[in-house]
Structure 1
Amino acid sequence: MSRLDRYSTRHLEQELNLETLADDLEDVSYDPEQFPGLVYRTTDPKAASLLFRSGKLVCTGASSIDNLEEAVRITVEKFRSLGIAVPADPEVTVQNIVTSGDFGTRLNLNAIAIGLGLEAVEYEPEQFPGLVYRLDEPDVVALLFGSGKLVITGGEHPTDAEAAIETVQTRLLELELLET
């Protein structure tokens, strides 16, 4: 039912000259007028590392925690090969796991907004086509779409996403707003 996308942050403990890095690295995008960081892409595993002048590194797009750690390792090794002093064994901190899924049936978002309670949801279809449902346990956000698709964001562990999907599905079934 779901697809996972993870990101983590790491600090390289030094300021970076992004212009020089953009000249020295292949597979990078750097356009400071569009985005304040440099984007370095790995292909195996597929991920993108966002590097900022402050030395902050954010790795995103990996499909598993193992792939995330591997992409960070590749990025750090690449920097070391350029003579950038990077701390040994960088700690990878997962900060956000994005999970997408599909209930396989259309959802009536107006009824869901009323059923879940207006204090727990944001639904303004003129502004955004999805319903935003903030769960307390786990502490994540579920985006529900009329097509039946959902996105869970904000978790730090795969179990957060799994629990959120189960919670949303159970609530919708209890409210008789989801076909089985």
Structure 2
Amino acid sequence: RLTKPRISALIFRTGKMVCTGAKNEGDLKNAVHALVKLLNDHGANVPLNPEVQVQNIVASGSLNAEVDLEQAALLLENTMYEPEQFPGLIYRMSDPRVVVLIFGSGKIVCTGAKSEGDVAVAVQQLYDKLKEIGVLYVEEGGGEEAEEPEEGEEGEEE
């Protein structure tokens, strides 16, 4: 574990490493370089510039509007909604290839993205689609139209 940036790493015999907890790609690369230095300082022979590949980004945010999940489940393809099992609607997108958890409050979690750009595209497409099918509802006192979604905090990167 590193404290700055705050990440956890698993290092395998094959030489592969999995890092989680980075808030952005810059922090991820800084963490990898810090780990490489630490390993080399302790006698390992690790290349100084290893290839860093982002496999999964998890981001959370808000659509700034409530969502009628029952209607969304009926009108959207590639969804799963079983409120007795889980309170969110699971929406699988194909381009970008991500999964978005959508909650009635308008909170969302996007997972499976390969880049921060994929997250932004997915959230905008989701917002536009939900608006198009009429399942977004602005909270009391917020006017009639839902605002553009707010940029979420980046989650884990591997």
Residue segments in structure 2 that go unaligned for 5+ positions in a row:
138-145, 147-158
Partner of 1:167: 125
Aligned counterpart for 1:72 among listed residues 32, 40, 49: 32
Whose relative contact order is higher, 1 or 2, with alpha carbons under 8 Å and at least 6 apart?
2
CA–CA distance in structure 1, aligned partners of residues 65 and 92 of structure 2: 22
Query: In the TM superposition, what is the alpha-carbon distance from 1:175 to its structure 2 partner?
Result: 0.8
- Matches of 2:64 and 2:22, distance apart in 1: 25
1:79 maps to a residue whose letter is L
- What SS does the aligned partner of 2:97 have? coil
* Structure 1 CA distance for aligned equivalents of residues 4 and 98 of structure 2: 29
Q: Which runs of 4+ in 1 moved over 3 A?
A: 52-55
- State whether residues 102 and 109 of structure 2, in contact with CA within 8 Å, keep that contact through their aligned partners in structure 1: yes
Structure 1, gaps ≥5 residues long: 1-40
**Letter aligned with residue 115 of structure 1:** L
Q: Does 1:55 align with 2:55?
A: no
Shift of 1:70: 0.3
CA apart distance, 1:69:
0.2
* Count of paired positions: 138
> Shift in Å at residue 53 of structure 1?
4.5
Give the counterpart of 1:97 among 41, 53, 57: 57
Farther off after superposition, 161-170 or 50-59: 50-59
Deviation larger for 168-177 or 127-136: 127-136
- TM value normalised by structure 1: 0.72
- In the TM superposition, residue 99 of structure 1 has moved relative to its aligned partner by 1.3
TM-score (norm 2): 0.81
Q: Do 2:61 and 2:108's aligned partners in 1 also have CA atoms closer than 8 Å?
A: yes
Instruction: State the alpha-carbon separation in 1 of the partners of residues 93 and 109 from structure 2.
Output: 13
